[in-house]
């Protein structure tokens, strides 16, 4: 991921320097287990543990010759080990995938914990914003067309619960991705005792794979990337709502717009929804990683490395982009400007048409058939669309033509938008307990 969208903490997790720190940690733990079992000399562990991880530059330099990143790492680390002879016991009985998959599991768990903390923050911000606007009247829309009265907090509550579910999926995916294996070539433990795998798993807080061939099957990693994609897409759903709300014809919502910020190089009046548009764009990047990573599940026989090049790009990009999205969506919601007055103007702009479904229900209760009621209300509604005459007037005229008596007082009661606020109270009661 390019630097523009990489936040420092997540960038460090996926940096080469940290990767080699994890590789050193895994290799040292394997040596500890071997030494405890008497497989290797006990005095070989301390010199290796004390050797500083090799620099990314040195590993790259050696890899230019070896064309093998693990061998380049082992050589560079051995150069840092005193006495160097102790380094011969590093990687004893292991194959490259033992190191790579185990360190990757630890790395992805680290990344997940960062994401979960930010997802918790976003859930709380969405929850609090929704509760704050539990009575902010706004028209509800279907197909982009005004439907019925609603409240802005209702829409945001949906996002809050959606993000909470998405966070919980990621929490489950943390277990799925935190799976390691140290089982040797072809995964048969031919050169390494299964007890070594157990020891390393316990020390790293990971799960040993139920079975591995030479690599850990990529279903868990695919689940993890899919969970990130859902989080990213919920962020995009929020962004789309803001983008629609900031359109000139709507003008109900405004992104935070800082002092000195410019909207357009040519049109000084512009305040564009650039944060939301960036969220929409970055969500595409995360979703795009699902298929390449999933295609790492079917490998040739016990192992090939067609998944390796893909994961070097897809996994950091998915995590870094999701991290950025959570951060940006939280910033968007914290600074969002809600124009309640404009929402009320828009709610009233269709001259009462948004109460048509309520009127249908009320008239059916008087004994009329649904077909007759629908014809009456639709005809009145079409006249309002065409003439902008208030819906109650066209309805009254249509009812008179058909000899239908209207209970005006009752209609006044059921066509008050505040009624919808009361109906939604249980939603906000549930929302208050969301964490």
Each residue's pLDDT tens digit, 262-289: 555 555 555 788 999 999 999 999 999 9
Lowest average pLDDT, out of 280-289, 310-319, 420-429, goes to: 420-429
Lowest average pLDDT, out of 4-13, 295-304, 411-420, 426-435, goes to: 411-420
CA distance 159 to 153: 10
Looking at residues 62-77, what average pLDDT do you find? Answer: 96
Determine whether 166 is an active site residue: no
Determine whether 280 is an active site residue: no
Is pLDDT of 300 > 80?
yes
Average pLDDT, the chain: 93
Identified catalytic residue from 68, 190, 264, 309: 264
CA distance 351 to 373: 20
More confident residue, 34 or 268: 34
Are 168 and 175 within 8 A, CB to CB?
A: no
Q: Which residues contact 131 (CB under 8 A, 6 or more apart)?
A: 153, 428, 431, 432
Looking at residues 138-156, what average pLDDT do you find? Answer: 94
* pLDDT for the residue numbered 270: 55
pLDDT digits (tens, 9 = 90+) for 165-212: 999 999 999 999 999 999 999 999 999 999 999 999 999 999 999 998
* pLDDT for the residue numbered 264: 54
Are 315 and 375 within 8 A, CB to CB?
A: no
* pLDDT for the residue numbered 90: 97
**CATH architecture assigned to 104-194+207-349:** Up-down Bundle (1.20)
* pLDDT for the residue numbered 368: 84
Q: Which CATH code is given to the segment(s) 1-92?
A: 1.10.275.10
| In the chain, domain spans | 1-92, 104-194+207-349, 353-414
**Number of residues assigned to the chain:** 435
β-bridge mates for residue 338, sequence order: 253
Share of the chain above pLDDT 90, in %: 82
Identified catalytic residue from 143, 265, 301, 433: 143
Measured from the Cβ of residue 193, the count of other Cβ atoms closer than 10 Å reads: 16
* pLDDT for the residue numbered 261: 59
């Amino acid at each position: 991921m390019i630097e523009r969208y990489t936040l420092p903490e997540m960038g460090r997790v996926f940096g080469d320097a940290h990767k080699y720190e994890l590789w050193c940690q895994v290799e040292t733990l394997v040596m500890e287990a071997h030494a405890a079992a008497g497989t290797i000399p006990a005095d070989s562990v301390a010199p290796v543990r004390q050797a500083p991880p090799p620099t990314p530059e040195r590993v790259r330099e050696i890899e230019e010759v070896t064309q093998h990143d693990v061998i380049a790492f082992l050589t560079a680390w051995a150069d840092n080990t005193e006495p160097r002879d102790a380094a011969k016991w590093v990687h004893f009985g292991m194959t490259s995938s033992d190191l790579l998959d185990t360190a990757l599991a630890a790395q992805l768990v680290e990344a997940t914990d960062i994401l979960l903390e930010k997802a918790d923050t976003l859930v709380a911000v969405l929850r609090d914003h929704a509760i704050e606007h539990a009575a902010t009247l706004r028209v509800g829309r279907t197909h982009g067309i005004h439907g019925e009265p609603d409240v802005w907090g209702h829409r945001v509550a949906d996002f809050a619960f959606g993000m909470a579910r998405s966070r919980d999926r990621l929490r489950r995916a943390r277990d799925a991705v935190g799976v390691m294996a140290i089982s040797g070539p072809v995964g048969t433990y031919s050169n390494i005792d299964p007890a070594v795998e157990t020891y390393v798993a316990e020390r790293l807080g990971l799960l040993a794979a139920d079975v591995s061939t030479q690599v850990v099957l990529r279903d868990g990693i695919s689940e993890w990337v899919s969970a990130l994609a859902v989080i990213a897409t919920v962020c995009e759903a929020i962004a789309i709502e803001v983008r629609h709300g900031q359109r000139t014809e709507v003008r109900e919502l405004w992104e935070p717009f800082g002092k000195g910020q410019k909207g357009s190089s040519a049109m000084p009046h512009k305040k564009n929804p650039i944060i939301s548009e960036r969220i929409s764009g970055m969500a595409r990047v995360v979703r795009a990683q699902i298929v390449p990573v999933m295609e790492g599940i079917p490998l040739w026989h016990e192992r090939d490395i067609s998944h390796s090049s893909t994961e070097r790009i897809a996994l950091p990009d998915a995590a870094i982009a999701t991290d950025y999205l959570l951060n940006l969506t939280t910033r968007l919601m914290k600074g969002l400007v809600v124009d309640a007055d404009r929402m009320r103007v828009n709610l009233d702009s269709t001259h009462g048409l948004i109460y048509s479904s309520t009127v249908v229900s009320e008239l059916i209760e008087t004994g009329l058939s649904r077909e007759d009621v629908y014809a009456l209300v639709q005809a009145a509604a079409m006249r309002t669309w065409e003439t902008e005459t208030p819906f109650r007037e066209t309805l009254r005229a249509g009812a008179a033509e058909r000899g239908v008596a209207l209970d005006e007082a009752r209609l006044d009661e059921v066509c008050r938008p505040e009624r919808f606020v009361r109906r939604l109270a249980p939603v906000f009661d549930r929302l208050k307990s969301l964490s």
